[in-house]
Each structure stands twice: as C-alpha cells, then as structure tokens.
C-alpha cells in the first residue's frame, strides 16, 4: 500500500466503488504512506465504522493511531498536514494559493458533486436530466478554475496544483472513473473536450499518473455498480408509494 510513512498506524475504512474513498487512497498513494485498507459493507456497517463516524456513519474514515478522521475533503487535508515531511505537499505554502485551492475545492463539492450525487438518488427522468445538466454546466467555471490555478509563472501548468498534483487534483481525480462512467449511465459527457478542453487534457494527464493507475476503479465495474444502486433506489421508491 505504498512506502512506510514512519509516522504511526494508518487504517482506511472504505468502499471500493466510492469516489470519496478514492480521494483518500490517492492522497495516501501520492504521499507514499503505508496503510491498512478495510472494505466496508454499507448494508451491514461494522462497529468500527459506526464508532469511528457516529455522525454520518459512512466512508471514508481514516484512523491514525486509533483516532478517526472523517469526510474525504478533510481527510486529504489531514494527510497533507499530518505527514508534511513525507512526499510532496498537496496544498501550497503560499496563503493566497492555499485559499484559491480551497475555493475551487468548495466549488467542486457544492456545484458539481451535489447535483451529480442527486442524479443517482432520484427516480424521475426529468429530475435526473436536470441534475446532470447542472453538473455539466458547472464544469464551465471549473475549466476557468484550472486555468487560474495552473497559470502561475507565466505559463500553463498541467495540474490545479501547478507542476505537480495538488489538493483540487486529488478531489476531482478521485471522481475520474465516475466521470467516465456517467456517459454510458446518462448519455452526458461531464468532461467534454469540445466544451472544456483544459479539463479533458487534465483528465488524460491525471490518468497517466502512477497513483491514479494504482487507485482508480475500472470504469466498466463502476457502471455495473451504479446500475445496481439505481435499481435499488428505484425499488425502494416503488415500495414506498
């Protein structure tokens, strides 16, 4: 699971298909940290998960020397802070650049992840279409965010973090398999080279990273998993009517 960080015991509670768990895995991989991975069954949650994340009762949860850290955006920042002397930094040292990264991370969660998640939880075709429309539309501004974050030093850098992968890269990168799966699932291209060429090129570069190859899920498996989840949601909705 990567090289030994030499800074205590790390355990990650996750679900293989989760893009949010993939974020934590990417951060650990990029930092070169060893960790124990525990696959959770969210239909039969372990006592460890319930006691480690009593508020949300879901994954990912990172346990560092017995202390749990929850929520993928928080976990990625925690990994960067707790292991500041190990591997590359995910958040820049410059206060303005840190603020910029956090701004676009918040935008990603609010304007892209929120409607994207809604797409899988609603049943009506109109609601699904609207959720996906909002997700795709929000990518236009993120395209500008990539240009802004990566344009330091007078040239265009390959990542949100500049010449190397940063915080926003990890958050969006964890979703790449699901971004690709969304086209066969919904007919919509979330990242389209014609509409958002910088993001399309970014996604190709990100997928070539060793960390991405080690962590990202197989797209076909994600499609099958998503269809199973959607069928479960539809059945639950029907039984409640």
> Residue 64 pairs with which residues in a beta bridge?
10, 67
Of residues 136, 137, 139, 115, the one with CA closest to residue 127 = 115
Q: How confident is the model at residue 156 (pLDDT cuts 50, 70, 90)?
A: confident
Q: Tell me how many degrees the CA angle 65-19-108 measures, rounded to the nearest 5.
A: 105
Pairing outcome for strands 10-14 and 61-64: antiparallel
The pLDDT assigned to 140 comes to: 96
Please state the rounded mean pLDDT for residues 89-104.
Answer: 96
Average pLDDT, the chain: 93
Burial of 199 from C-beta contacts in 10 A (0-12 / 13-18 / 19+): buried
Question: How far lies 148's CA from each of 61, 84, 92, 97, in Å?
Answer: 32, 25, 14, 10
Span 104-124, pLDDT tens digits:
999 999 999 999 999 988 888
Residue 37 host element (H or E): strand 36-39
Q: Mind listing the domains of the chain with CATH numbers?
A: 10-83 (3.40.30.10), 95-228 (1.20.1050.10)
Q: How confident is the model at residue 13 (pLDDT cuts 50, 70, 90)?
A: very high
Question: How far lies 39's CA from each of 35, 51, 79, in Å?
Answer: 13, 16, 20
Q: Tell me how many degrees the CA angle 168-228-238 measures, rounded to the nearest 5.
A: 115
Span 23-51, pLDDT tens digits:
999 999 999 999 999 999 999 999 999 99
The pLDDT assigned to 155 comes to: 67
- Residues of the chain above pLDDT 90, percent: 86
Could you tell me where the DSSP H helices lie in the chain?
Answer: 19-31, 47-52, 72-82, 95-107, 114-121, 125-149, 167-173, 176-186, 197-207, 210-215, 219-239
């Amino acid at each position: 699971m990567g090289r030994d960080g030499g800074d205590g015991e790390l355990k990650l509670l996750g679900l293989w298909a989760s893009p949010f768990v993939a974020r934590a895995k990417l951060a650990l991989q990029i930092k070169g940290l060893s960790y124990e991975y525990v696959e959770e069954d969210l239909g039969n949650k372990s006592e460890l998960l319930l006691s480690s994340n009593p508020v949300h009762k879901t994954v990912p949860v990172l346990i560092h020397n017995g202390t749990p850290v929850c929520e993928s955006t928080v976990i990625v920042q925690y990994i960067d802070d707790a292991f500041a002397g190990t591997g590359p930094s995910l958040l820049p040292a410059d206060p303005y650049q840190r603020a910029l990264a956090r701004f676009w991370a918040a935008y990603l969660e609010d304007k892209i992840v929120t409607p994207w998640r809604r797409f899988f939880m609603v049943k009506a075709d109109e609601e699904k279409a609207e959720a996906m429309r909002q997700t795709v539309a929000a990518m236009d501004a993120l395209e500008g965010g990539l240009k802004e974050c990566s344009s330091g030093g007078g040239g265009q850098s390959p990542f949100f973090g500049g010449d190397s992968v940063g915080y926003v890269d990890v958050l969006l990168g964890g979703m790449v398999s699901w971004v690709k799966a969304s086209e066969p699932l919904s007919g919509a291209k979330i990242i389209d080279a014609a509409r958002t060429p910088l993001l399309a090129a970014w996604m190709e570069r990100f997928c070539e990273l060793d960390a991405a190859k080690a962590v990202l899920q197989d797209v076909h498996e994600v499609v099958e998993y998503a269809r199973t989840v959607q069928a479960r949601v539809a059945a639950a909705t029907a039984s409640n009517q």
